[in-house]
Chain A
């Protein structure tokens, strides 16, 4: 039975996603219940899968009974199990947030479940073309979700996201075409053995072009600098539930796919044969870290600041992958998972704060502890975790990345990481200082009284009632999880390392 679980992780949300539209013919409030039920099943399946894979054996499913390398294979190893578990937990958690935060339509939940299906598929597929299809399912659902809000700018942000995202996915598809021409296969494991046998080996032009196109395409989806331009608008203009969900998951799973392509298709031998490819990937990631942080420091709008912070943190994750030492990759994976929890939590908290007090910019966050103590506390914990204050998960990820960089003598990464930590501290400390140690000036206080009404006018549920205990629970749970993961991590480090057989 367990061998059927991988495909069910994709099928369950697709079938569940059709239901809200059907049930919607009878009642318009059924979407949330259907989505909760479906994702509950999804979470149970994912938990079963994680428990099985933690035992050491990967789970393999041949779609339609066609044997690999001719058929499509779904492969769940330790890394994909970790990512699919993350997708399941976060999407179930954000539902508690979306129940009050909306959008309250059945079609929203259909898109929500389609997004989960796409992300689950990307996490578990063992076929490069299948990955493209899931990449586009994820993309389509994400574009529509960004546009699902009432804000005028949402449609413009979504269209820009769609055009840039499609361009990225098309580059990836072109790279798949080069690989197919060179090797005649699409199966990841099969590609790993056939690429070195191509005439010219790893340095063959076809293989180099394929690597360049596939990594460039996925870098667009991860939103590395300078192809991040879709991301701040998309995060800042989408509804709160959507920005929480996509900031936590979409780029994360794309970064996972990048790692999967680098390590399971091209393998570390490719890096050894073509140091230029490794250096180029590292350079893009390092520039992304520095420029992303610098752009984040210069933002006044808190959501845009968080969005640029993602550009920088994903740069760090990809830099960890590019170093390709086992310790650094484990660090990058921890930071990938940890960042998803932290950034999702920060967006959720920013949404709560805006609904409660109308505060959107750094100035308006002044003296926030008096007006929204719990949200301010959660925000501070998550912010310090992101900076890398022990024992939170942000520290553990960065620690292993630095350790791995030192092991192989990648001093550039150590320097970039230290610089990024200082800059991260710069933009988060400014915000936390303003929340805790600056009194809201009297003018701002008057504004703070006036603004909930203004905000309430925009939100149908109105004022303070727009924040439900479920929403606050999500923010607090993210903060607790960020610290708990940091504490729990030493226990799973060995299991994680054992499940990554492709590492040197």
Chain B
């Protein structure tokens, strides 16, 4: 497959790269803690999409095996990502709990303001 073909047919990977990029940008650039948590979620979603899109088979059926079925999409990445989604939900819950506690203690969610409070 030529490079041009690869660029034209693998458009689903553009979405992966875009999501990863947006996620990292928010993690690094935003000073709002909630937005950082959202960025973390977007970054993880990019990874989930990468796994799922890699499992796709052209014309494949859902992997529920019955007679004369065939071709199926690969079920393994789906299972992995179910697990990873659960992990992601748990992480988001802990992150939001910490955000609530930070807001209770400092009355702000801005990282810059928090940093100044530290150094006073």
What residues make up the interface of A, taking CB atoms closer than 8 Å to B? Answer: 129, 132-133, 136, 139-140, 143-144, 147, 152-153, 155-156, 158-159, 162-163, 166-167, 170, 173-174, 177, 180-181, 186
Instruction: Give, as a whole number of angstroms, the nearest-CB distance from B85 to chain A.
Output: 12
Query: In the complex the two chains form, is B98's CB within 8 Å of A155's CB?
Result: yes
Interface members, chain B 49-80 (any A CB < 8 Å)? 50-51, 54, 76-77, 80
Query: In the complex the two chains form, is A159's CB within 8 Å of B95's CB?
Result: yes
CB-CB < 8 A to B24: which residues of A?
A: 167
Q: Please give me the residue from chain B that is nearest to A167 by CB atom.
A: B27
CB-CB < 8 A to B50: which residues of A?
A: 174, 177
Query: In the complex the two chains form, is B94's CB within 8 Å of A144's CB?
Result: yes
A159 touching B44 in the complex, CB below 8 Å, given contacts A140-B90, A152-B105, A166-B91: no
- Answer whether residue B114 sits at the interface, using C-beta atoms and an 8 A cutoff: yes
Complex CA gap A163/B101 in Å reads: 16
Complex CA gap A152/B103 in Å reads: 11
A180 touching B40 in the complex, CB below 8 Å, given contacts A147-B98, A173-B47: no
Q: Please give me the residue from chain B that is nearest to A159 by CB atom.
A: B98
A180 touching B77 in the complex, CB below 8 Å, given contacts A136-B91, A166-B91: yes
- Answer whether residue B22 sits at the interface, using C-beta atoms and an 8 A cutoff: no
CB-CB < 8 A to A139: which residues of B?
A: 91
Complex CA gap A235/B57 in Å reads: 47
Query: In the complex the two chains form, is B95's CB within 8 Å of A129's CB?
Result: no
**Which has the most chain B C-beta neighbours within 10 Å: A136, A140, A152, A155?**
A155
Complex CA gap A167/B54 in Å reads: 21
Complex CA gap A162/B41 in Å reads: 12
Complex CA gap A143/B101 in Å reads: 14
Listed by A's residue number, 23 A-B pairs whose Cβ atoms lie within 8 Å are A129-B83, A136-B87, A139-B91, A140-B91, A140-B94, A143-B98, A144-B94, A147-B98, A152-B106, A155-B102, A159-B33, A159-B98, A162-B94, A162-B95, A166-B40, A167-B24, A167-B27, A174-B20, A177-B50, A177-B54, A180-B77, A181-B54, A186-B76
A-side binding surface: helix, strand, loop or mixed?
helix
Task: List the 6 closest A-B pairs by CB distance, nearest first.
Answer: A159-B98, A155-B101, A136-B87, A155-B102, A181-B54, A155-B98
Complex CA gap A143/B114 in Å reads: 19
CB-CB < 8 A to A173: which residues of B?
A: 47, 84
| Contact digits for B7-42, partner A, Cβ 8 Å, 1 yes 0 no | 000000000000010001001000001001100100
Instruction: Give, as a whole number of angstroms, the nearest-CB distance from A427 to chain B.
Output: 23
CB-CB < 8 A to B90: which residues of A?
A: 136, 140
Query: In the complex the two chains form, is A133's CB within 8 Å of B101's CB?
Result: no
CB-CB < 8 A to B77: which residues of A?
A: 177, 180
**Which has the most chain A C-beta neighbours within 10 Å: B44, B84, B98?**
B98
Instruction: Give, as a whole number of angstroms, the nearest-CB distance from B110 to chain A.
Output: 12
CB-CB < 8 A to B84: which residues of A?
A: 132, 173
CB-CB < 8 A to A174: which residues of B?
A: 20, 47, 50
CB-CB < 8 A to B44: which residues of A?
A: 166, 170
CB-CB < 8 A to B36: which residues of A?
A: 163
Instruction: Give, as a whole number of angstroms, the nearest-CB distance from B101 to chain A.
Output: 4
Complex CA gap A501/B55 in Å reads: 34
CB-CB < 8 A to A181: which residues of B?
A: 54
CB-CB < 8 A to B102: which residues of A?
A: 155-156, 159
A177 touching B47 in the complex, CB below 8 Å, given contacts A140-B91, A163-B40, A167-B27: yes
Complex CA gap A232/B54 in Å reads: 38
A155 touching B105 in the complex, CB below 8 Å, given contacts A144-B94, A163-B27: yes
Apart from the given pairs A152-B106, A159-B102, A167-B27, 6 other A-B contacts in the complex at a CB distance below 8 Å = A144-B94, A147-B101, A159-B98, A174-B20, A177-B77, A180-B76
**Which has the most chain B C-beta neighbours within 10 Å: A129, A152, A166, A174?**
A166
Instruction: Give, as a whole number of angstroms, the nearest-CB distance from B40 to chain A.
Output: 6
Complex CA gap A155/B76 in Å reads: 37
Query: In the complex the two chains form, is A167's CB within 8 Å of B91's CB?
Result: no
Instruction: Give, as a whole number of angstroms, the nearest-CB distance from A204 to chain B.
Output: 15
Query: In the complex the two chains form, is A163's CB within 8 Å of B37's CB?
Result: yes
Q: Please give me the residue from chain B that is nearest to A165 by CB atom.
A: B91
Complex CA gap A478/B107 in Å reads: 41
Complex CA gap A171/B55 in Å reads: 19
**Which has the most chain B C-beta neighbours within 10 Å: A133, A152, A163, A186?**
A163
Q: Please give me the residue from chain B that is nearest to A153 by CB atom.
A: B118
